[in-house]
Structure 1
Amino acid sequence: MTAPVKSSPLGLTVLALLHYRPLHPYGIQQLLKQWGKEHVVNVGQRTGLYRTIERLQAGGLIAVRQTERDQQYPERTVYEVTDEGRAVTREWLEQMLAVPKAEFPVFPAALSNMLLLSPAEVLPILERRAARLTAQRAELARQAADDELGLPRITLIENEYLMAVLGAETRWLQGVIGDLRDGSLTWSPEMLAAFQEAQEAQEAPESAPGGE
């Protein structure tokens, strides 16, 4: 009996693509890019895709359909989704859609340690992030506007979500930048040290009457 395969965004996407037709890894990678899935799954390195395919095969979720041999290309293994893979795909998809997952993205972790820098240092850094977010959102909007195929809305629904998230983060970030500029959000080592001392004083146990 094979061990259960841990779900992942890339694993789900590979299984979903194989629902349409059998594919070799290079074909999977090309479809991921053609369909714009690189915005939602990490396909920057081919090794990650191959490791995911190996895990899915070891778990019995996909199987080798055939091996293609062509003089112009190296030997390519074509994979297809199994019946168990179809069932697991539905299970993963329902779980990911319905249950918010406790994720640990980079930006909140950086925000939680931002006090290591001064407000004057943080301001231009966040301004650079805001500019990049605006550019990313504009690129997604451009891709939607340039859609010459008239694809159904459902095929690009993840782009709608990404644009909404980018817009919300940009608005929040602009608010923080404004607060940094007018001084309503500020801190210093002295301020933080004083706060820490006050917290420790409140948490210190009171001496018992007549104690030593």
Structure 2
Amino acid sequence: MTAPVKSSPLALTVLALLHYRPLHPYGLQQLIKQWGKEQVVNVGQRAGLYRTIERLLVGGLIAVRQTERDQQYPERTVYEVTDAGRAAVREWLEQMLSVPKAEFPVFPAALSNMMLFTPDEALRTLEQRAERIAAQRAAMEEVRSGAAEAGVPRVALIEDEYTLAVLAAEQRWLDGVISDLRDGSLTWSLELLAAAASQGPAESASSDGSVG
């Protein structure tokens, strides 16, 4: 009996793409890039893709379709999705699409400790982020436009729409915070923070659960 395969963005993407046609790892990597899915799954290192394929193979979610031999290329193993894989991908998709997951991205964690910077340092750092967000949006728009012109259907690029909407919302929020830092309506000092930290909780719970 095979062990259950844990879902991951890359495993989900591999299973999904194999629904359309059997592919070897290089073909999978190229299709991921052609459809712009490297924005949401990490295929920068092919070793990660091979490890994911191996997990899916051992778990019975994909199977070897054939082995291709060509004088121009090394031997290539072509994989196809199994019935178990088709069932798994639907289960993963339903869970991932319908249930918000508690995630802990880096940026909010950094924001929660931004008070270690002075307001001027925070302003300079967030201005740099805003510039990078603008550049990232422009690059994504260009890639998405090229993919659409190449005939990639909208549904295959829908994650780009979401990512661009999130980036646009972040850019608007950054603009507001940067404006507040510039005009001084958002400010702090070490003394102010130290005083707030020294106050402690207003109430504490006793050992029996009552509030004292």
- Same-fold status (TM-score > 0.5): yes
Query: Does the aligned pair in 1 maintain the 2:7–2:92 contact within 8 Å?
Result: yes
Measure, in 1, the Cα distance between the counterparts of 2:151 and 2:61.
33
Equivalent residues in 2 for 1:121-136, closer than 5 Å: 121-136=121-136
The match for 1:159 is: 160
The match for 2:169 is: 168
Unaligned runs of 5+ in 1: 206-212
* Alignment-mate amino acid for residue 158 of structure 2: I
Query: Does the aligned pair in 1 maintain the 2:21–2:80 contact within 8 Å?
Result: yes
Q: Which has the higher contact order (CA 8 A, sep 6+)?
A: 2
Shift of 1:38: 0.7
Unaligned runs of 5+ in 2: 206-212
Alignment size in residue pairs: 204
Shift of 1:112: 1.4
The match for 2:74 is: 74
Measure, in 2, the Cα distance between the counterparts of 1:72 and 1:150.
29
The match for 1:46 is: 46
Q: Which string of whole-angstrom CA distances, capped at 9 and with x for unpartnered residues, describes residues 83-125 of structure 1? A: 1000001111111111111111111111112122211111111
SS class of match (2:22): coil
The match for 2:140 is: 140
For the pair 1:197 / 2:195, whether they are aligned, the reply is no
SS class of match (2:79): strand
The match for 1:20 is: 20
Measure, in 2, the Cα distance between the counterparts of 1:40 and 1:204.
44
Measure, in 1, the Cα distance between the counterparts of 2:161 and 2:84.
31
The match for 1:85 is: 85
Shift of 1:142: 2.6
For the pair 1:177 / 2:185, whether they are aligned, the reply is no
Measure, in 2, the Cα distance between the counterparts of 1:58 and 1:204.
52
The match for 1:100 is: 100
Query: Does the aligned pair in 1 maintain the 2:36–2:143 contact within 8 Å?
Result: no
Change (3 A) 1:187 1:103: same
SS class of match (1:20): coil
SS class of match (2:149): coil
Q: Which string of whole-angstrom CA distances, capped at 9 and with x for unpartnered residues, describes residues 54-96 of structure 1? A: 1111111011112222222112111111110000011111111
Measure, in 1, the Cα distance between the counterparts of 2:169 and 2:76.
43
Measure, in 2, the Cα distance between the counterparts of 1:71 and 1:97.
43
The match for 1:208 is: none
